[in-house]
Amino acid sequence: MSSDQDRLSSSFPTTRMRRVRRHKWSRQLVSEQQLSASDLIWPLFIREGESQRESIPSMPGVERISIDLLVEAVGEAVDLGLPAVALFPATDPALKTPECEEAINPGNLVCRAVRAVKQAHGDSIGVVCDVALDPYSSHGQDGLVRDDYVVNDETLEMLCKQSLVQAEAGCDVIAPSDMMDGRVGAIRKALDERGFLDVQIMSYAAKYASAFYGPFRDAVGSSGNLGGGDKHTYQMDPANGDEALREVALDIAEGADSVMVKPGMPYLDIVRRVKETFAVPTFAYQVSGEYAMLNAAAQNGWLDREAVMLESLLAFKRAGADGVLTYFARDAAKLMRQQ
C-alpha cells in the first residue's frame, strides 16, 4: 500500500491528473505534440573561400562556412532527415554598396552556394533563400535608402530581381524578409512571368523590429553598417498583434505559400493566432538572439542545453507552428535520433 492510500481511504480527489503521468509509456500515449527532424529548417551562414570555417562569437556552435563545407553540411542535414536549409551569405564588405548591386548578381555567393548544393543533393532537400538587401547594403538596411528613408516601391524592383537570380540558381523557396509592402505579390508575378511557377514563397509575414536579431547581424556583418539606424519604419512594432494578422492576410492574398512569425519564443501568441485564423502552413523563426540566450545560459551551467533546446522547439509546435527555423536544427535532429 502506498503512503497516499494509507492517508486517504476515500476516493478524493476523483480526478487525478497525475495518473497518466506516472509511467513513461502512458505519458507517451497521451502526448499531444511530437517534435521531429522533419519540422526543422536549418539556417546556415556562408562565406567565400575553400575549407573555411569561422566561428561567430555571439552564436556558439554556429559558423560561417565556405561553399565546399556547406555542401558537406547539407549532406549531413539530408542524413538527419531535415527537410530544408536556409542560406544566408556573409558578403565581402568590399561588395556592399548603397544600391546593393551584388544582390542581383547571378554569380553572387548565395547563388553559387545554391547551385553547388542543388548539384550535390538535388531534390533530397529544399533550399530556402532570404530576399532582402541587408547582406549587400553598405547601410545595413533591407531596402534602398533615399533621403534617409527606406523606400518601398523602388526596393520592390530590386527584390524581384534578387528573387529571380536566386530562382535561376535553383532555389526552391524564396523567403522575403524585408517587410516592404506588396513584395509577395510583386515577387510572385516576377517568378511566374519567368516560368518559375513552382518556386514557393515563404513569407516573413509577421516580422517584428526586434532586438533579438543582434547576433545574426554579427554573422552576416551588417550590424556595423546599420550604425545607429534601426528598422522600425518597416518591421513591426512588438506591441502589436492584430497588425500581424493583417500582414499575414495580405501576404496570403498576394500568393504566399507559407507564412512565418519572427522572432519565435517571445511571439508564440502570434504563432497561435496566425495558425488559428488562417490555417495555412505557419513557421516560426527561433532567431539568433534566442539561440544566443539559451546557449549563454547553458555555457554558464545555468540551463541544460539539450533539454531547453527540445523544450523550446516543442513549444513552437504546441503554439501551432508547422515548422521552425532554428540554429539548433542539426543538434536537435541528432538528439532525437538517439532518443
State the minimum distance, in angstroms, from the CB of residue 322 to ligand PBG.
Answer: 19
Supply the DSSP symbol for 195: T
Of 96, 262, 275, 317, the catalytic one is 262
Supply the DSSP symbol for 90: -
Q: Please report whether residue 102 would count as binding ligand PBG according to CB under 6 A.
A: no
The contact mask relative to ligand PBG for 286-305 (x = CB under 6 A, - = no) is -xx-----------------
Contact 182, 152 (CB under 8 A): yes
- By C-beta, is 134 or 172 nearer to ligand PBG? 134
The contact mask relative to ligand PBG for 163-202 (x = CB under 6 A, - = no) is --------------xx------------------------
Q: Which residue is nearest to ligand PBG (CB)?
A: 216
State the minimum distance, in angstroms, from the CB of residue 4 to ligand PBG.
Answer: 48
Q: Among 216, 234, 316, 328, which residue sits at the site for ligand PBG (rule: CB under 6 A)?
A: 216
Phi, psi of 146, deg, nearest 5: -130, 125
- Catalytic: 262? yes
Q: Please report whether residue 134 would count as binding ligand PBG according to CB under 6 A.
A: yes
Please report the DSSP string for 214-263 in residue order: HHHHHHHT-HHHHTT---TTTSBPTT-SHHHHHHHHHHHHTT-SEEEEES
Q: Is residue 203 classed as helix, strand or coil in its secondary structure?
A: strand
Of 96, 118, 207, 317, the catalytic one is 207
Q: Residue 40 forms beta bridges with which residues?
A: 324
State the minimum distance, in angstroms, from the CB of residue 50 to ligand PBG.
Answer: 26
- Taking contact as CB under 6 A, which single stretch among the options 71-79, 154-162, 212-220, 250-258 is the one that binds ligand PBG? 212-220
Q: Is residue 147 classed as helix, strand or coil in its secondary structure?
A: coil
The contact mask relative to ligand PBG for 220-259 (x = CB under 6 A, - = no) is -----------x----------------------------
Question: Which string of b and e fits 223-238 if b means at least 16 CB within 10 Å?
Answer: bebeeeeebeebbbee
Q: At what angle do helices 153-169 and 183-193 cross, to 10 degrees?
A: 40
Q: Is 247 annotated as a binding residue?
A: yes
Contact 249, 203 (CB under 8 A): no
C-alpha distances in angstroms, 79 versus 75, 82, 120, 334?
Answer: 6, 8, 13, 10
Q: Which of 311, 306, 261 is nearest to 286 (CA)?
A: 261
Q: Please report whether residue 267 would count as binding ligand PBG according to CB under 6 A.
A: no
- Taking contact as CB under 6 A, which single stretch among the options 33-41, 49-57, 210-218, 269-277 is the one that binds ligand PBG? 210-218
List residues with catalytic annotation: 207, 262
**Contact residues for ligand PBG (CB under 6 A)?**
130, 132, 134, 142, 177-178, 213, 216-217, 231, 287-288
Annotated binding site for Mg(2+): 247
Annotated binding site: 247
